[in-house]
Structure 1
Amino acid sequence: MSYQKLVPEAKKGLNKFKMEVARELNVPLSDYNGELTSKQNGSVGGEMVKRMVDQYEKNL
């Protein structure tokens, strides 16, 4: 199965958002994150989703 990005232009913005969240959570993200724990990596993604949902709900 092949996946197609719906908005390829969003990649740069999402990456910037990911790095901002990681900085706030004191998670040292880099080009290679294999040395980080699953908890560290998951906390960044989880916080990103939480903030996106919160923002969406504010705009309803």
Structure 2
Amino acid sequence: MAQKLIPEAKQGLNRFKTEVANEIGVPFTDYNGNLTSKQCGSVGGEMVKRMVEQYERNL
């Protein structure tokens, strides 16, 4: 397994994921096996979209 370069990043990404899921109405919990692939994908897609927008603003 690869070494984590920034261990604190995992907590930050989990908070970000939960925030995005709440905003778009996906009921994320500690167990997400009851969610559809579409629901999980929409959260991941929105996260990437926001990260790219933030990066572009900082250019």
Q: Normalising to structure 2: TM-score of the pair?
A: 0.93
How far 1:7 sits from its partner (Å)?
A: 1.1
Deviates more, 1:23-32 or 1:6-15: 6-15
The amino acid that maps onto 2:27 is P
Alignment partner of 1:31 is 2:30: yes
Q: Unaligned stretches of 5+ in structure 2?
A: none
Structure-1 separation of matches of 2:41 and 2:3: 24
Number of residues of Structure 1 aligned to a counterpart in Structure 2 = 59
Secondary structure of the equivalent of 2:25? coil
Secondary structure of the equivalent of 1:8? coil
Alignment partner of 1:54 is 2:56: no
Q: Please provide the CA RMSD for this pair.
A: 0.8
Per-residue Cα deviation, 1:15-51 (whole angstroms, up to 9, x for no partner):
1110000000100001110110000000001100110
Q: Unaligned stretches of 5+ in structure 1?
A: none
User: Structure 1 vs Structure 2: percent identity of aligned residues?
Assistant: 75
Structure-2 separation of matches of 1:42 and 1:6: 25
Map of 2:41 onto structure 1: 42
Which contiguous aligned blocks of 4+ residues in structure 1 show a shift greater than 4 angstroms?
Answer: none
Structure-2 separation of matches of 1:3 and 1:37: 29
Q: Normalising to structure 1: TM-score of the pair?
A: 0.91
